[in-house]
Structure 1
């Protein structure tokens, strides 16, 4: 996409009020992929997710009150919040945390760069959004790149067959997040103050998280390590309370297609962090996969209708 949008108007991403939160969200989300790896060592993944949103939920309600947004929403709004809580703040994160038990954080982040594909398909089905031929071509190129990265991961991973399980879990997370991304953009979602919708969604999601954790992992486990709680706080406040309102504001300002450029920057940051702190081993295969994946995503996103 050129520096100017169609009709000669400046590209939305060049406007400071959009560019600054855009970069901030990418920096924070790029870091969260690695932080998650420290949350699943001594604590079952489900409880780690529950702790994250148990901290984030009251903070999001506080943000709504500080912004003087009404927390009273209609029944349809609560139904939507319940669905977003189930898919985004429960299903998505439970799948992601478990996926990182089997794959490096960088690879899971790269896979999530393909969120645009189910978003486009669900958007066309549920919202009537069009999908262009260039978008399909870019998606195909990106999928080829993802396949090379995963092949490299399978060759070097000490977990053997668990790589397949990691991929399946990541796909589950992608599909869950995609459902939430699309349904929040419907008429009901746009009629509710964004921070209020997020607050109720997180509340419902936390309830689901606690229920799943108790059923699958038993009573809660409270680790004594300060590093665990510091990571949980970062994921809750920076990675959830700060980023989700900013990201959904970007989506509403420039559309889901352009906002998805954020995913490309997140991948770059996550892969760099994974290389430095996790010892991610680059090879010609991995480099080719990263180049193809990024190029395909940029091509697809440039073609995505907003």
Structure 2
């Protein structure tokens, strides 16, 4: 039987990860501009990867993971730390960060389906019912953000499509964390090597699409990179992958349901976001679905 999300040792990291990732959408928006997105992603995970190698050495985890370990790091690192984030950053060129966050909340769906198909994780009626209610809440948030968007319908559809590619990329990596081969390996070393492969892939994409590296000396840009690299990547992914190993990818993905609500709450403070009836109803449904799903039991 897997641990429950409501246990303090799982709940506290879950809430911390959710709060950190709920704040990243504002920071990512500030990263767009002078530096091409692919280079910003490269810098972000170079910082995160160095931090993870240092942490692995400090914690005593062996960085010698063998041929199979490197293959696993490659297979989860490129979808998670390269494809996922390049899609997310690219999507924010077409649609608002709020809409990207809302669409990403659908991570719950592929994580649940892939967990059932490949990890044989049983989904109870209560979990499915709660998930459907949460998705309905996400749909209302989506409708609110879509109405508020000032971009054309074509731009919106491109942005949504690119975001969904990011969702699928993240889900592949998430489900890999729940496999026995991954669960038997130290998280810190695997993340370090996964990020290393992600950086190589990101740099190759950036060089191909944009040429030599571009830098921006604006202090806020580099402060954002450090925040995204250390807190939102090195720390958050270490905690999140630990949560997946403990409770499975389906339940862990509930962080993605809460993230847009947190993002909108922060936007209320920093961007003068005004909550509409749709947004309030969507947030209430999403939270209600979360409560119902997490009260259910799954094998």
Q: Secondary structure at the match of 1:38?
A: helix
Change (3 A) 1:42 1:240: same
- Alignment equivalent of 1:228, drawn from 210, 217, 221: 221
TM-score, reference length from structure 2: 0.90
CA contact (8 A) 2:175 2:249 kept: no
Distance 1:26 1:94 in 2: 21
Match of 1:248 among 241, 263, 267: 241
Q: Distance in 2 between matches of 1:123 and 1:12?
A: 16
SS of residue in 2 equivalent to 1:13: coil
- 2:28 match: secondary structure: helix
Q: Does structure 2 retain, via aligned residues, the 8 Å contact 1:76–1:188? A: no
Aligned mates of 2:194, 2:88 — CA distance in 1: 18
Q: Aligned in 2, Cα 1:228/1:18: closer, same or farther, shift over 3 Å?
A: same
Partner of 1:214: 207
2:276 corresponds, among 283, 292, 295, to: 283
Q: Is the 8 A contact 2:258 2:286 kept in 1?
A: no
2: CA distance, partners of 1:255 / 1:91: 22
Out of 245-254 and 163-172, give the one that drifted further.
245-254
> Aligned match of 2:88 in 96, 103, 108?
96
Question: In the alignment, is the contact (CA less than 8 A) between 1:102 and 1:159 conserved in 2?
Answer: yes
Matched, 1:23 2:23: no
Residue deviations 1:16-40 (CA, integer Å, cap 9, x gap): x444333322222121121111111
Q: Distance in 2 between matches of 1:192 and 1:290?
A: 37
**CA–CA separation in structure 2 for the residues paired with 1:124 and 1:253:** 16
For residues 154-193 of structure 1, what are the structure 2 equivalents within 5 Å?
Answer: 154-161=146-153, 162-193=155-186
Structure 2 Cα separation of the partners of residues 301 and 133 of structure 1 = 12
Which among 61, 64, 72 is matched to residue 80 of structure 1? 72
Q: Can you give the 5+ residue segments of structure 2 that lack an aligned partner in the other structure? A: none
- Distance in 1 separating the partners of 2:297 and 2:104: 17
2:97 corresponds to 1:142:
no
Q: TM-score, normalised by structure 1?
A: 0.88
Comparing 26-35 and 86-95, the one that deviates more: 26-35
CA drift at 1:193: 0.8
From the superposition, tell whether residues 303 and 213 of structure 1 become closer, same or farther in structure 2 (CA, over 3 Å).
farther
Secondary structure of the residue aligned to 2:6 is helix
Unaligned runs of 5+ in 1: none
Select 2:187's aligned residue among 194, 199, 202: 194
Aligned-partner Cα distance in 2 for 1:160–1:50: 30
Partners of 2:114 and 2:250 lie apart in 1 by 13
- Shift of residue 12, structure 1, vs aligned partner: 5.5
- Of 101, 108, 130, the match for 2:122: 130
Task: Show CA shifts across 1:242-282 (max 9, x none).
Answer: 11112222333344454444344433321211222233343
1:27-64, CA deviations, whole angstroms, 9 ceiling, x for partnerless residues? 22121121111111222111111110111111110110
Worse overlay, 131-140 or 80-89: 131-140
Partners of 1:168 and 1:42 in 2: CA distance: 24
Which residue matches 2:113?
121
User: Is 38-47 or 81-90 further displaced after alignment?
Assistant: 38-47
**Residues 296 and 167 of structure 1, relative CA distance in 2, 3 Å threshold:** farther
Between the aligned partners of 1:65 and 1:295, the Cα distance in structure 2 is 42
Report the equivalent of 2:55.
63
Contact 2:47 2:226 in 1 (8 A): yes
- Provide the C-alpha distance between the structure 1 equivalents of 2:5 and 2:108, rounded to a whole number of angstroms: 19
